[in-house]
């Protein structure tokens, strides 16, 4: 077997590859686990679901306005969502982690508040209510922002939780307090307005 001779340049390349692999390994090991959503189609293992610490503020702390990019990354963004008879301020859930977390562990949702889930493409997205403490209306919207399905979902207190699934494909879903759709006359076929 012939001997392999490495030049100094080859050694630097191998060292660089080894260093890169170590950094990736460290990032992988220190990554925070994802959590299951209030309404989720995600398949995150149950043992990775985390509950906020007791008496802790659920909002993220940020540095003073000196670092606006950090602040924008930590604070969830919101958008005004208008139905034919009412508007709400909806927290955006766009990333896999935000979608997985949903409204889990929240003890309160204001009358004019909600969460807007934005998916990558139109499909059937089912939701469940594990670790969700408040009853919700889940309203699915098509890519053209028309209501395609509405469900009244109740918190799940057992190990096996019901899935809520639309009868049509959706690109968006909105979670609001239970009774919102009926109270405000939201129905299948209505167009919902928001900027996204």
What are the chain's domains? 34-40+75-196 (2.60.120.1140)
Q: Work out the pLDDT band at 8, boundaries 50, 70, 90.
A: low
Distances (CA, A) of 164 to 22, 93, 96, 174, 195: 42, 18, 19, 13, 26
Place of tokens 């043992």: 47
Q: Rounded mean pLDDT of the chain?
A: 77
> Model-level pTM?
0.65
Is 127 exposed, middle or buried (CB count within 10 Å of its CB: 0-12, 13-18, 19+)?
buried
The predicted pLDDT at position 45 comes to 36
Please check the confidence at residue 63 and state whether its pLDDT lies above 70. no
- Closest Cα to residue 151, out of 39, 32, 10? 39
């Amino acid at each position: 077997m012939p001997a392999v001779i490495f030049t100094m340049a080859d050694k630097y390349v191998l060292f660089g590859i080894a260093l890169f692999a170590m950094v990736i390994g460290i990032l992988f090991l220190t990554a925070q686990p994802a959590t299951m959503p209030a309404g989720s189609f995600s398949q995150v293992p149950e043992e990775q679901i985390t509950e906020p610490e007791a008496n802790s503020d659920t909002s993220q702390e940020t540095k003073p306005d000196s670092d606006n990019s950090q602040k924008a990354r930590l604070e969830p963004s919101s958008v005004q969502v208008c139905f034919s008879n009412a508007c709400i301020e909806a927290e955006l859930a766009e990333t896999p982690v935000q979608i997985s977390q949903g409204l889990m562990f929240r003890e309160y949702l204001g009358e004019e508040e909600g969460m807007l889930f934005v998916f990558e493409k139109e499909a059937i997205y089912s939701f469940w209510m594990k670790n969700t403490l408040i009853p919700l209306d889940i309203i699915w919207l098509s890519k053209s922002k028309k209501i395609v399905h509405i469900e009244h979902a109740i918190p799940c207190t057992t190990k096996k939780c019901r899935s809520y699934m639309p009868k049509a494909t959706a690109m968006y879903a909105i979670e609001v307090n239970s009774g919102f759709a009926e109270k405000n006359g939201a129905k299948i076929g209505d167009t919902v307005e928001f900027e996204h």
